[in-house]
Amino acid sequence: MAIVYDRLLKLDLPERDLRYDERDTMLYALSVGMATDPMDTEDLAFVVENGAFAGKLKALPSQATVIAWDDVFGPASGLNMLMVVHGEQRITLHKPLPSHGRIKSKTRFVDAFDKGAGKGAVVLVENLIRDAETGDKLVTLLSTIFARGDGGFGEPTRPTPAAPPAPHKLPDRAPDFSLAAQTQPNQALFYRLCGDRNPLHADPYFAKAAGFPRPILHGLCTYGHAVRAVVKTACKHDPALVEHIEARFTAPVFPGETIVTEIWQDGAVVSFRAKLAERGVTALDNGLVRLRK
């Protein structure tokens, strides 16, 4: 059954009060490939909280996607969640992400674009994360999802024409940086502990039923690998420089494959994409990181 546009946008989901701690921050960094060399002191600042690193623990900006992880909005939305695919992910950091804290998270549906009956719909979902102590905005997440099983509800009347966000165009030149990282065969089993327990990433039987020969890596884990590469190269290990991130998901990754992140830097604008060395396909495309000026 197609989604009902007006009901979707008027859906009032409750604000949630959450906490994340230094253990969560270290687990996330390890789950997206940080500190594979235990003697790399720059990387260790993301995974060690005591000794010489006491009080200096850093959080990767892409960790914002898991600190308020929530997939319970699906049943309330009326979307056919079995047919939903994550298309794009945007992160706007209103201030650098702390290594721990108490937060409030509010999810809402921003818009939906009908591709026609039997052709699905593009749905924009926003998650505003605030500092629970001060009320200040911390992060705004904007997810673009392709609801393949929905559509046919008709384009709504809007005060001005609208369309899904346009993808960032990559530079037409050789990358300024390229960083390869081989994922571990059990990478998805670590990453799922950050929040997303979808059996597609852990259960071989479920993955086979979904048409895959084995469980696939979470798209946001691939996303985290690419952001880690940008932080290590263009940001020289300073995550506080990152103000905005966006990228499109274009192909699944199998745990054990090598993610090669290609990076272009033009001042405060950093472009990136992630390719798979073994298959030569692009897993993330149209990547953009805007740095604080």
- 3-class DSSP state for residue 140? strand
Q: Is pLDDT of 193 > 90?
A: yes
Which own/partner contact pairs does 131-137 have at CB distance under 8 Å and 24+ positions apart?
131/101, 131/102, 131/103, 131/104, 132/17, 132/101, 132/102, 132/103, 132/104, 133/101, 133/102, 136/94, 136/95, 137/94
Q: How confident is the model at residue 135, as a pLDDT?
A: 97
Q: How confident is the model at residue 47, as a pLDDT?
A: 98
Separation between Cα atoms, residue 230 and residue 247, nearest integer Å: 13
pLDDT tens readout for residues 148-192: 878 777 665 555 556 778 899 999 999 999 999 999 999 999 999
Q: Is pLDDT of 230 > 70?
A: yes
| Tally of CB atoms within 10 A around 123 | 25
Predicted TM-score (pTM) of the model is 0.94
Q: How confident is the model at residue 119, as a pLDDT?
A: 82
Q: How confident is the model at residue 148, as a pLDDT?
A: 80
pLDDT tens readout for residues 20-40: 999 999 999 999 999 999 999
Closest Cα to residue 25, out of 139, 258, 193, 244? 193
* Percent of the chain residues topping a pLDDT of 90: 77
Query: Average pLDDT in the 89-96 region?
Result: 98
Q: Is pLDDT of 274 > 90?
A: yes
Q: How confident is the model at residue 161, as a pLDDT?
A: 55
Q: How confident is the model at residue 23, as a pLDDT?
A: 98
Q: How confident is the model at residue 115, as a pLDDT?
A: 82
- The set of catalytic residues is 196, 201, 216, 219
pLDDT tier for residue 1 given thresholds of 50, 70 and 90: very low
**Mean of the per-residue pLDDT values of the chain:** 92
Q: How confident is the model at residue 14, as a pLDDT?
A: 92
Fold topology of 177-291: Thiol Ester Dehydrase; Chain A (3.10.129)
Q: How confident is the model at residue 234, as a pLDDT?
A: 98
Q: How confident is the model at residue 210, as a pLDDT?
A: 87
